[in-house]
C-alpha cells in the first residue's frame, strides 16, 4: 500500500489462503423473562437485509483489490535495486507498514535493511531471517530461522507467500536463484490504511442505506461506521476475509417489547387506588366542614363581642352620672364598678383583636415615651391595687423611647397588672 492520493496505488492483495466466509447467527426468536410478576416478551421484527448483503460484498471486493495492489507494490519493492540506499529508503517510506526488509541468499549471507531513516534510528529488536543462528549479524539478537529449501527456486516456488511467526507478519519472495527477500509488515498500520480507504468508499452508500435494522462495520471489535449508538450483541455477524484484521459486518434486528402484568396485581392496584381516592375525598370533606365551623365560631364571637360593647358603654355612662350625686362611700363603690366595666371592655377588645389577627393588618408603630405611657396605665390600676394593699411605683425611664403601637402596649401592660 502506497501513501498516494491515487486509488490504484493504495491497496492490498487478496490473501493466498483466505479464511472461509461464514455467517454466525445468534439470539434470534422470542425472548421472555419474569420479574416481580411482570412478564416481558421481546419479538424480533423482520426486515429486508439485501442492502446489508450488498454492503458486505462491496467491502469484501474493496479489501480484495486493496490487498492485491499492496502485494504488487511489495513485489515491485523486492525486485528493485536494493543496493541503492537512497532509492531504497524512498521506496520504503512510500509504502505503508514496512518495518524491515531483509535479503538472504543460499550461502547464508543476510542483509537487513530498515525502513527507518537515520534520524529515527534502527530497531534492532526486529527478527532477522537466517539459515543458522550463527549467521545472525553481530548487532542483532532475534533470529527468524528459515529452511534452505524455502530459498530454492523452481516452478513450484516462484510465487510470493505470506507467513506469520511469533506474532510478526512476513512477506517472502524469491527474486532469483541466489536471493530471497523478506519484508516485515506492521499489520496495524496496514489495517488503519485499509479502514480509511474502505470508509471513504462505503460512507456515502451507508449513510443513504434504507434499512430498519441496526448495522455496524467493525475492525478487531472496534466500530468503523454504525447507524446505532449502542453496543448490544448482534443478531447476525458476517465475517470478511482479510489478513490485516478481523473485519465484520454486524446487524441487530429491530425488536418490539410486549409487557403483561399479573391480573391479581392489576386488580389490587386498582382497588388500592380507589381506596386512596375515597380516603382523600373523605379527608377533604372533613377539612372543609371543620373550616366552615371555625369560620362560624369566629363570626359568632365577633358579633357577640361587638354587641356587648354597647351595654358596657351605657353602664359606664350611668356609673359616671351616678357618681356625681353620690357620697364618698357611694363614689368608691361606683369607681369599682367603672373599673371592672373598663376591664371587661378591654377583654372584649382583646377577643375582637384576636379574631381579626389573620385578616387585619398589623397596627402602625411610632416612637413612644415609655415613662408617660407606663404612668398612665399605672394610674388607671392604682385604685384597684390600693384596695389590695399594693402600692404601684414607677421609677426611671425618663428618656427611654420605643418603636411600638400605643394602644397595643397599653393592653399588654394592663394584662400584666
Q: Could you tell me the mean pLDDT of each successive run of 10 residues in the chain, 417 residues long?
A: 43 37 39 56 84 91 93 89 80 85 83 62 81 83 81 61 89 85 91 92 86 88 85 86 90 84 81 92 92 83 75 81 79 78 78 65 80 86 84 89 86 84
* Pair 288, 313 in one domain: yes
Contact 67/11 with Cβ under 8 angstroms?
yes
Q: What are phi and psi of 159, to 5 degrees?
A: -75, 170
Q: Is residue 277 part of a domain?
A: yes
* Pair 340, 380 in one domain: no
Full-model pTM: 0.53
For residue 60, what pLDDT is reported?
93
For residue 57, what pLDDT is reported?
92
Q: Is residue 159 part of a domain?
A: yes
Q: Is residue 320 part of a domain?
A: yes
For residue 92, what pLDDT is reported?
79
* Pair 349, 379 in one domain: no
Domain that residue 60 falls in: 7-190
DSSP helix/strand/coil, 255: strand
Pairing between strand 143-145 and 128-130?
parallel
DSSP helix/strand/coil, 263: helix
* Pair 99, 177 in one domain: yes
How far apart CA 160 and CA 174 sit, in angstroms, is 7
Domain CATH for 328: 1.10.287.130
- The closest of 384, 297, 406, 287 to 337, measured between CA atoms, is 384
* Pair 393, 416 in one domain: yes
* Pair 284, 408 in one domain: no
Residues 6+ apart with CB under 8 A from 230: 214
* Pair 348, 373 in one domain: no
- The closest of 52, 73, 69, 17 to 242, measured between CA atoms, is 17
Q: How many domains does the chain have?
A: 3
Q: Is residue 240 part of a domain?
A: no
* Pair 346, 405 in one domain: no
For residue 298, what pLDDT is reported?
76
Amino acid at each position: 500500500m502506497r501513501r498516494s492520493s491515487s486509488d490504484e496505488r493504495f491497496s492490498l492483495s487478496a490473501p493466498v489462503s483466505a479464511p472461509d466466509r461464514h455467517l454466525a447467527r445468534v439470539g434470534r426468536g422470542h425472548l421472555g423473562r419474569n420479574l416481580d410478576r411482570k412478564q416481558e416478551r421481546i419479538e424480533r421484527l423482520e426486515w429486508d437485509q439485501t442492502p446489508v448483503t450488498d454492503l458486505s460484498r462491496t467491502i469484501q471486493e474493496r479489501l480484495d483489490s486493496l490487498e492485491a495492489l499492496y502485494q504488487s507494490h511489495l513485489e515491485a519493492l523486492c525486485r528493485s535495486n536494493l543496493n541503492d540506499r537512497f532509492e531504497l529508503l524512498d521506496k520504503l517510506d512510500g509504502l505503508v507498514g514496512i518495518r524491515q526488509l531483509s535479503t538472504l541468499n543460499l550461502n547464508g549471507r543476510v542483509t537487513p535493511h530498515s525502513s527507518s531513516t537515520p534520524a529515527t534510528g534502527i530497531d534492532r529488536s526486529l527478527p532477522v531471517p537466517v539459515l543458522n543462528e550463527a549467521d545472525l549479524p553481530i548487532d542483532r539478537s532475534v533470529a527468524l530461522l528459515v529452511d534452505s529449501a524455502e530459498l530454492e527456486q523452481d516452478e513450484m516456488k516462484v510465487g510470493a507467500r505470506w507467513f506469520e511467526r511469533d506474532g510478526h507478519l512476513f512477506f517472502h519472495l524469491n527474486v532469483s536463484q541466489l536471493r530471497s527477500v523478506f519484508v516485515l509488515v506492521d499489520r496495524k498500520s496496514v489495517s488503519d490504511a485499509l479502514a480509511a480507504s474502505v470508509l471513504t468508499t462505503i460512507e456515502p452508500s451507508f449513510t443513504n442505506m434504507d434499512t430498519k435494522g441496526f448495522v455496524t462495520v467493525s475492525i478487531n471489535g472496534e466500530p468503523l461506521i454504525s447507524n446505532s449508538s449502542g453496543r448490544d450483541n448482534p443478531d447476525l455477524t458476517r465475517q470478511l476475509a482479510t489478513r490485516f484484521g478481523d473485519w465484520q459486518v454486524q446487524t441487530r434486528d429491530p425488536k418490539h417489547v410486549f409487557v403483561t402484568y399479573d391480573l391479581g396485581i392489576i386488580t389490587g392496584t386498582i382497588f388500592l387506588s380507589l381506596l386512596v381516592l375515597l380516603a382523600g375525598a373523605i379527608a377533604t370533606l372533613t377539612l372543609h366542614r371543620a373550616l366552615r365551623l371555625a369560620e362560624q365560631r369566629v363570626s359568632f364571637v365577633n358579633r357577640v363581642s361587638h354587641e356587648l360593647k354597647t351595654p358596657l358603654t351605657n353602664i359606664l355612662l350611668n356609673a359616671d352620672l351616678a357618681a356625681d350625686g353620690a357620697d364618698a362611700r357611694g363614689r368608691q363603690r361606683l369607681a369599682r364598678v367603672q373599673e371592672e366595666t373598663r376591664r371587661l371592655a378591654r377583654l372584649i377588645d382583646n377577643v375582637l383583636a384576636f379574631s381579626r389577627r389573620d385578616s387585619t393588618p398589623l397596627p402602625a408603630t411610632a416612637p413612644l415615651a415609655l415613662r408617660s405611657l407606663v404612668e398612665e396605665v399605672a394610674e388607671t390600676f392604682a385604685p384597684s391595687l390600693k384596695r389590695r394593699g399594693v402600692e404601684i411605683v414607677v421609677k426611671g425611664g425618663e428618656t427611654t423611647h420605643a418603636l411600638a403601637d400605643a394602644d397595643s402596649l397599653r393592653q399588654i401592660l394592663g394584662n400584666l397588672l
